[in-house]
Structure 1
């Protein structure tokens, strides 16, 4: 496996490439063209410039997260083929630039949902958190204001102001889209792009819905092993795979994370590994990566990845805000650096003990 860190670009991230380069064992970054809009074609020149900036810091691009999917594709509107054509052109340009991993999601309206971006923990750190009771009290039209006011001045992925300003229109777009329709539209999209993925050896790694249940009545489909296997069966191609995010699948305590990993051998192209601390089945917070700080056995998750021969990129996910850092919630330097080092330590111990 390769340890990586997500980077939002010099224009949007408080963390620098030089700082990432100094984290032991981190050799690559997961990034994207953050100023691009869903449906736009990424040019070869833009992709090359992104790669060159990262290479100058002694790192490389390990994968793209994300090439966002236009809502027309998700709802299956008449103009979806135009946007799929644009997506295919972007994939071609990524392939020409020797980039072979794309993480994406198929979530309606909200990319991810949290009720708090800075819940204070006993140790004084602050973390992202979710409480269903709090979500139930929020009008979705006011959700952006709640998120934006706690973002430390950063633009959060999936919560861009220009997108959230159209929240009423977005909900109207999805009013006739249920889970079956969303699956149908995902299948259509995947069938269209797979020939290009085959040509350029691009692994598509769908990210799970977060949390793994319906929010504000919107359908969620990438939530458990059964639904993942359905997705893989409906477009049976090794390039049609997943991002295994322990923190997203883990929001549903019925999901046995190590068992899921073993069942999905060969189709996990990318892994986000993080821990959660549950106060109830629908009230959780994003703890430090250490097993004892949360609910999940991180050793067993890493051991399962080792057992299936996983060789793709891994990144520590949402970290706590610690040591006075002011950064994009979940994406500061310090706690993610601790997480990367911890996960690398687990991997080394597993590797040596299994020889």
Structure 2
């Protein structure tokens, strides 16, 4: 039976986790990006080949681009956005010419993902990522001091945030500020308050409807190019799957997925099926999404979360959380065999274990936590394949 292609994310030559480490973890494919190229510029063939060769020399393949970032002006349909779309098309063709045919991207304004705590301590002493709405509300209202932010919150939410903040030391407030405004993946540079407020002001007149319209226009332009060159585009769901900082959200629910697939029905217009991001919204039925859109799933992020209450969720062990991972993986195996395709999968947001404590790590991307997740997911899949083959 066809099984998932096991991959791991690598942030490039500056990554503290080496390609040798990843190979020894059991991955055969690499998920990476050319982070050194400014967002919106063309990815040149020579730059792609250079990165490919580094990975090939380590005995693996570059199988997924994560991410080919979408310029903010495309998301806003303003400024130089038409030129940036043309550049995106050229980058798609260049990647295809190099044999890389799965591209992940997102359409989240400004921030790729948000957590309030990057070092939540689990019972076994390992550390995980966590989102606390009270902490975020306190950050928004009293640390960032976003103009008119108070209109986005109820009196109860404001009071809860004040109570949360009253227990924080100045050092803890500074850490919260840093955690929320961590830069883009592959970078450890934080936004300043002034930068984020300026960026937020650019979205003042953009609501969900307008952002969705801009996404559909973008896809109507780039998906035919991807289809022509046999490239699969995989949009990553919003993380978290609800509005933050008053920003619009258009890829958080099953209806959001349906709307863009119906608007741009090409198969190249597909989904990065992230069980963590989609699963953080309890209204999303993860198994039904596979049933309904399995033919449009082009890349797999398998991770798990636990919702402690309606205001707090945290990353959990890959096999133990709110997402029913055994049922999900079984559906994935059946779907892949029906489609006759091996989809790339990577474990996501592993724990930070004590053996790596003190080393410089990008939150959620330490080696041991992801190795553990990859091994568990591999074993789960092997058991499912054995069962289905009987």
Aligned counterpart in structure 2 of residue 9 of structure 1, from 1, 5, 12: 12
Aligned counterpart in structure 1 of residue 276 of structure 2, from 242, 247, 259: 247
Decide whether aligned partners of structure 1 residues 316 and 182 sit closer, same or farther in structure 2, where only a CA change above 3 A counts.
same
The CA deviation string for residues 57-100 of structure 1, in whole angstroms up to 9 with x for no partner, is 00001100001111110011142101111111111111111110
Does residue 283 in structure 1 map to residue 312 in structure 2?
Answer: yes
User: 3-state DSSP class of the match of 1:285?
Assistant: strand
- Separation of aligned partners in 1, 2:87 and 2:253: 30
Gaps in structure 2 of 5+ consecutive residues? 146-172
> Of the two, which has the highest radius of gyration?
2
The CA deviation string for residues 271-303 of structure 1, in whole angstroms up to 9 with x for no partner, is 100111221123011112122xx2222101111
Aligned position for 2:377 = 343
Gaps in structure 1 of 5+ consecutive residues? none
Aligned position for 1:157 = 185
Aligned position for 2:22 = 20
Aligned position for 1:124 = 125
User: 3-state DSSP class of the match of 2:295?
Assistant: coil
Decide whether aligned partners of structure 1 residues 22 and 147 sit closer, same or farther in structure 2, where only a CA change above 3 A counts.
farther
Decide whether aligned partners of structure 1 residues 344 and 215 sit closer, same or farther in structure 2, where only a CA change above 3 A counts.
same
Q: How does 1:198-209 map to 2 (within 5 A)?
A: 198-209=227-238
Higher mean alpha-carbon deviation, 274-283 vs 179-188, is at 274-283
State the 1:162 CA deviation: 7.6
- Separation of aligned partners in 2, 1:281 and 1:35: 38
Aligned position for 1:51 = 52
Higher helix share: 2
Q: Assess if the C-alpha contact under 8 Å between 1:118 and 1:150 holds in 2.
A: no
- Separation of aligned partners in 2, 1:256 and 1:194: 26
- Separation of aligned partners in 2, 1:201 and 1:147: 43
Decide whether aligned partners of structure 1 residues 66 and 148 sit closer, same or farther in structure 2, where only a CA change above 3 A counts.
farther
State the 1:148 CA deviation: 7.6
Q: Assess if the C-alpha contact under 8 Å between 1:116 and 1:129 holds in 2.
A: yes
Decide whether aligned partners of structure 1 residues 287 and 166 sit closer, same or farther in structure 2, where only a CA change above 3 A counts.
same
Does residue 314 in structure 1 map to residue 345 in structure 2?
Answer: yes
The structure 1 segments of at least 4 consecutive aligned residues displaced by more than 6 Å after TM superposition are none
Decide whether aligned partners of structure 1 residues 163 and 44 sit closer, same or farther in structure 2, where only a CA change above 3 A counts.
farther
Aligned position for 2:364 = 330
State the 1:37 CA deviation: 1.8
- Separation of aligned partners in 2, 1:347 and 1:203: 24
- Separation of aligned partners in 2, 1:85 and 1:155: 26
Aligned position for 1:300 = 327
Aligned counterpart in structure 1 of residue 287 of structure 2, from 230, 237, 258: 258
TM-score, normalised to structure 2, is: 0.85
Aligned position for 2:112 = 111
Q: CA RMSD in A?
A: 2.1
Q: Assess if the C-alpha contact under 8 Å between 1:252 and 1:281 holds in 2.
A: no
Higher mean alpha-carbon deviation, 212-221 vs 237-246, is at 212-221
State the 1:311 CA deviation: 2.1
Q: Assess if the C-alpha contact under 8 Å between 1:117 and 1:147 holds in 2.
A: no
The CA deviation string for residues 194-248 of structure 1, in whole angstroms up to 9 with x for no partner, is 2211221110000000111111111111011111011100011000000000000
Q: Assess if the C-alpha contact under 8 Å between 1:117 and 1:128 holds in 2.
A: yes
TM-score, normalised to structure 1, is: 0.93
- Separation of aligned partners in 2, 1:167 and 1:214: 15
